[in-house]
Amino acid sequence: HENRIKKVAAGAFSGLGNMNCIEMGANPIQNSGFEPGAFKGLRLNFLRISDAKLTGVPKDLPDSLHELHLDHNQIQAVELEDLSRYKNLYRLGLGFNHIRNIEQSSL
């Protein structure tokens, strides 16, 4: 929280399979800053990437998520493919974004 993280490399969390919560708020990270496989092997329940520079829901997040907080970003749209794989998701924070379009059945 409140670092200067701009990039999360593939395998950045390898060996941390028991971790269930990551707080990455208030970092200048953009969607392109998440390399494919950045969260591979994690069984996260909670992920917060608020107060960042995201323009969309990040791809390739762990399917185990129960809570995803993306408040205070620059997200403009939520598409079906953004959230459909998160079957355990019960809390989604998207407040204070620039959302203009939510695709049918995406929530």
**pLDDT at residue 107, rounded to an integer:** 63
Number of domains present in the structure of the chain: 1
**pLDDT at residue 2, rounded to an integer:** 83
**pLDDT at residue 47, rounded to an integer:** 98
**pLDDT at residue 103, rounded to an integer:** 83
Sign of CA dihedral 80, 25, 18, 32: positive
50: which residues sit within 8 A by CB, 6+ positions away?
A: 25, 26, 69, 70, 71, 72, 73, 93
Please give the model's pTM, rounded to 2 decimal places.
0.92
10-residue mean pLDDT series, the chain (107 residues):
93 94 97 96 97 95 97 94 92 96 77
Domain extent, residue 46, equals 1-107
CATH of the domain at 31: 3.80.10.10
